[in-house]
Structure 1
């Protein structure tokens, strides 16, 4: 996995496309009905000779905890050497790959990113940063926060295998709890222990932060680029090289996530949601929503509330 330069990866993505999977080796589904998944690293990795080639999950976040062994992780434009205990967070849309030693053990949780972001927005908005920033880190062998991670992973496994009523609600709640534990690492570990992000990663993180701040003002790409100190063209290239999407796609996806959250978790009318998100009128918002989600805001609200009532 080592030795590939950034230009080669970018060129491959531009001409051939990065494989997009639900789980590695499985074709990505058209919908996102499977909210979360749990598996142990040795369940899948030996099938591929312990090497997971670069790929992405467009709508899923993955959280990996390595409890034994060593390996290498590719996360966007950087490689990291992993030594257990190690933690990796791969937000949706981030290219990643792994190469493990055969003695490796650990767990992988995969979950739908948008519902987790919607929950975080309500219960702990600062979790959005943890959800959206790639992370690869070797943890201290012992410590309150490190020791507290594995029991949460095992609780997620029990819920995954239970297949009982309320599984989705309980599973996503446990994954939110896991994300809280990961966020606490930022407070307990020395800054030098965290991986240094590339300049492109820092710019992309700043872009996402600006979207959170100004999406209700319906800023265009040029306005975001100006705040970042780059041109609109440079921002578009940054977006495509980093996550394989245009700048407009990233902006619109964030607006859709917020619209979905408000449709599900508030009693606001469609007109109020449209106004709050900076749309000129309800009809324009409806066309925008249908274009990106495939159904009208009204039908989406009814569908999701019905699904949640059965969870």
Structure 2
């Protein structure tokens, strides 16, 4: 079985924690990508968020099973645990910041809970609008780079504070472009939704009913349904099914397992039932999705 690699930075094992594990890292994209022939295969980071600023050049980012081309200037946000990969052109001009997801979320909860959605959802955000220019963003990035490289007293606190300011700008850009919903959410509901997602990730293979999740959250089924519909526009069942389908899609593209093996690994006793479920949710069979995705995700080509 081929598993999706889990790294701190790309190519660095999650078992070997670098000194900045609880803080942040700054790199210019060519620093790591040139050595990898401008191709960063699919991987994930369990506890780390990444934000890229693409200024010039071309290429694409893989987010789960979707390929999104860059349209510079743009920001790319990749929360922890999201499977992603890149193909860059040698002309690429940009930077990447890697930071501890939990630390950023803790700061955001204290100073601006409305920032949580921009930290928790993958997005490709165009840098557009009256106040959106390279001159607006680059001073922030330069200050972040300075704090990372200086090692001066308090550089971690200063760097994380600057990152919060950066995500305020990202949220404004997303709002302007209508690319990512950034409506203010009540802190309590944000926590409930985050906890619900964590429970889904933990128990989705068990095919638990909505009643189980509501009980774990200490709310009623009706309350859980209302929170999901009003904040996310979907039902709790849809959220559970979406997670299950994403895991199935990951395995179909990256694991090397057969459809029957994937069905059993996801808690389905009957592979035929898994195929019907997958087709109902996506409109195509698992085998058809697998073939199409493997053709479309031919990394190394534009």
TM-score of the pair, normalised by structure 1: 0.61
For residue 179 of structure 1, what is the aligned residue in structure 2? Answer: 167
Moved over 6 A (4+): none
| Residue 119 (structure 1) aligned to one of 104, 107, 124 | 107
Higher relative contact order (CA 8 A, sep 6+): 2
* Equivalent-residue separation in structure 2 for 1:157 and 1:132 (angstroms): 23
| Residue 132 (structure 2) aligned to one of 141, 145, 150 | 145
TM-aligned CA distance change 1:165 to 1:104, over 3 Å: same
| Residue 13 (structure 2) aligned to one of 21, 27, 32 | 27
Residue aligned with 1:156, SS: helix
For residue 69 of structure 1, what is the aligned residue in structure 2? Answer: 57
The count of corresponding residues between Structure 1 and Structure 2 is 212
CA deviation after TM superposition for structure 1 residue 235, in Å = 6.3
* Equivalent-residue separation in structure 1 for 2:195 and 2:48 (angstroms): 24
Residue aligned with 1:26, SS: coil
* Equivalent-residue separation in structure 2 for 1:243 and 1:152 (angstroms): 35
TM-aligned CA distance change 1:19 to 1:182, over 3 Å: same
For residue 157 of structure 1, what is the aligned residue in structure 2? Answer: 145
For residue 166 of structure 1, what is the aligned residue in structure 2? Answer: 154
TM-aligned CA distance change 1:173 to 1:234, over 3 Å: same
Give the alignment's Cα RMSD to 1 decimal.
3.0
For residue 290 of structure 1, what is the aligned residue in structure 2? Answer: none
Compare 18-27 and 221-230 and name the one that shifted more. Answer: 221-230
* Equivalent-residue separation in structure 2 for 1:243 and 1:119 (angstroms): 31
* Equivalent-residue separation in structure 1 for 2:123 and 2:239 (angstroms): 27
Spell out the pairing of 1:271-290 with structure 2 (5 A cutoff): none
CA contact (8 A) 1:94 1:242 kept: no
CA deviation after TM superposition for structure 1 residue 236, in Å = 6.2
* Equivalent-residue separation in structure 1 for 2:130 and 2:144 (angstroms): 21
| Residue 129 (structure 1) aligned to one of 117, 126, 149 | 117
For residue 36 of structure 1, what is the aligned residue in structure 2? Answer: 24
Residue aligned with 1:22, SS: coil
TM-aligned CA distance change 1:163 to 1:242, over 3 Å: farther
CA deviation after TM superposition for structure 1 residue 163, in Å = 0.3
CA contact (8 A) 2:28 2:95 kept: yes
Q: Deviations over 1:178-226 (max 9, x none)?
A: 011101113322x3xx289xxxxxxxxxx977534879xxxx9633486
CA contact (8 A) 2:127 2:173 kept: no
CA deviation after TM superposition for structure 1 residue 83, in Å = 2.5
CA contact (8 A) 2:174 2:180 kept: no
CA contact (8 A) 2:65 2:250 kept: no
* Equivalent-residue separation in structure 1 for 2:77 and 2:248 (angstroms): 20
* Equivalent-residue separation in structure 2 for 1:117 and 1:233 (angstroms): 23
Residue aligned with 1:145, SS: coil
| Residue 39 (structure 2) aligned to one of 47, 51, 63 | 51
TM-aligned CA distance change 1:208 to 1:48, over 3 Å: farther
| Residue 3 (structure 2) aligned to one of 8, 17, 22 | 17
TM-aligned CA distance change 1:36 to 1:231, over 3 Å: closer
CA contact (8 A) 1:222 1:232 kept: no
Q: Which ranges of structure 2 fall in alignment gaps of 5 or more residues?
A: 182-188, 198-202, 215-220, 226-234, 252-302
Residue aligned with 1:37, SS: strand
CA deviation after TM superposition for structure 1 residue 17, in Å = 1.6
